[in-house]
Amino acid sequence: LASLEVQPFPTVLEFPTGKTGGGHVMVAAGPCGVESREQTLKAARYVKAHGAHMLRGGAFKPRTSPYAFQGLGLEGLKILAEAKRETGLPIVTEVLSPEQVELVAEYADVLQIGARNAQNFALLQAVGEAGKPVLLKRGMSMTLEEFLMSAEYILSRGNMRVILVERGIRTFEKATRFTLDVSAVPVLKSWTHLPVWIDPSHPAGKRDWVIPLALAGLAAGADGLIVETHPEPEKALSDAAQQLHEHEFAELMDKVRRLVAAL
Ligand code: PEP
Ligand code: MN
């Protein structure tokens, strides 16, 4: 169902703040995790002011260590709802299990499936039935064919609103956190009509490298970005090193606008 042979024109997803696919670029931005009302509202206000189209923020966090910050859960979803009421930005937030889908779908405009759950087939089927667009991250060790098969789990349940996100894969290189597979963009776009986004934050692992990776993704033809930014990144409870300061996010948006206009 994802194939261009089935649908020979790009899928365009429309939100009140913008469109993605078919030449339209959107930017989702916000903190890695929802940590407090103040932190999230601050981030929501400035990402909106700098031109973002969607607010990201994890309420349920899939942490590598069970002892690390796991997110605020339902309280986090309520904070995101308040940020949406104030800014009008649609919300993208992660769902970790099939049991959580109904709850998260009450608050989220887009359901995020994380890299670590990219082959959780029960979860993929559950979001396929939730009636909300899905932002599907590529697993860190998935081939592009496997990635599209994960998308098929969602599409085959009747949900055609899927965004594919390249967020870096495991290679032998240790300088970056993951290796952004920029080739995923042209390859996926030659196979599928679905929008393809880049997450430059998780492969970079370090804020200095986020802007160049984001621009590389867009130059390669990506239909959107999902980027982490935090009002006080040094104090972040997760992914502190890679979240952009507000001024860096502003610089990113300025460069994104100029690049998109030139493409
Ligand atoms: C995230 O977006 O905060 C996240 C956990 O990303 P990923 O699933 O790509 O690691
Ligand atoms: Mn993160």
Residue 222 near residue 198, CB atoms below 8 Å = yes
Question: What is the distance in A from the centroid of ligand 1 to the CA of 6?
Answer: 30
Check residue 134 and give its pLDDT. 98
User: What is the predicted pLDDT for the residue at 202?
Assistant: 98
Nearest CA to ligand 1 atom 4: 114
What value of ipTM does the predicted structure carry?
0.98
Q: Would you call 45 exposed, middle or buried from its count of C-beta atoms within 10 A (0-12, 13-18, 19+)?
A: middle
- Cβ contacts of 247 within 8 Å, gap of 6 or more: none
Tell me which residue has its CA closest to atom 8 in ligand 1: 114
Q: Which helix (H) or strand (E) holds 188?
A: helix 184-191
Take residue 54 and report the two structure tokens written for it: 């969607």
DSSP assignment string, 190-232: HHBSS-EEE--HHHH-SGGGHHHHHHHHHHTT-SEEEEEB-SS
Task: Please tell me if the CB atom of residue 58 comes closer than 6 angstroms to any atom of ligand 1.
Answer: yes
Any alpha helices (H) in 72-143, and if so which ranges?
A: 74-87, 101-107, 121-128
Q: Ligand 2 centroid vs 32 CA: distance in angstroms? A: 4
Predicted confidence at residue 137, as pLDDT, reads 98
Q: Are 93 and 57 in contact (CB under 8 A)?
A: yes
Pocket test for ligand 1, best of 197, 199, 201 (most atoms within 8 A of CB): 199
pLDDT value, residue 143: 98
Shortest-distance atom of ligand 1 to CA 165: 9
> Cα dihedral angle (243, 245, 247, 249), rounded to 10 degrees?
20
Helix (H, G, I), strand (E, B) or coil at 160: coil
Q: What does the pLDDT read at residue 50?
A: 98
- Whether 95 is in the pocket of ligand 1, judged by its Cβ within 6 Å, is no
Domain boundaries, the chain: 13-262
- Interior/surface letters 93-129, b for 16+ CB within 10 angstroms, e for the rest: bbbbebebbeebbebbbbbbbbbebbbbeebbbbbbe
The pLDDT score that the predictor gives to residue 252 is: 98
Q: pTM higher than 0.90 for the full model? A: yes
pLDDT at 33: 98
State the distance from the centre of ligand 1 to the C-alpha of 243, rounded, in angstroms: 12
Query: What pLDDT shows up at residue 83?
Result: 98
Annotate 78-90 with DSSP letters as a single string.
HHHHHHHHHH---
Confirm or reject: Cβ of 168 under 6 Å from ligand 1: no
Q: Is the CB of 115 under 6 A from ligand 1?
A: yes
pLDDT of residue 136: 99
Q: Identify which of 43, 218, 216, 62 has the alpha carbon closest to the alpha carbon of residue 139.
A: 62
pLDDT of residue 185: 98
Report how far residue 217's alpha carbon sits from residue 248's, in angstroms, rounded to the nearest whole number: 18
- Give the pLDDT confidence score for residue 194 in this predicted structure: 98
One pLDDT digit (tens) per residue for the chain, 263 residues? 999 999 999 999 999 999 999 999 999 999 999 999 999 999 999 999 999 999 999 999 999 999 999 999 999 999 999 999 999 999 999 999 999 999 999 999 999 999 999 999 999 999 999 999 999 999 999 999 999 999 999 999 999 999 999 999 999 999 999 999 999 999 999 999 999 999 999 999 999 999 999 999 999 999 999 999 999 999 999 999 999 999 999 999 999 999 999 99
Q: Side chain identity at 131, as an amino acid letter?
A: G
Q: How far apart are CA 240 and CA 106, in angstroms?
A: 29
H/E segment holding residue 189: helix 184-191
Q: Is the CB of 237 under 6 A from ligand 1?
A: no
What does CATH list as the number for 13-262? Answer: 3.20.20.70
Q: Rounded to 5 degrees, what are φ and ψ at 167?
A: -130, 20
114 lines ligand 1 (CB under 6 A): yes
CB-ligand 1 contact for 230 (6 Å cutoff): no
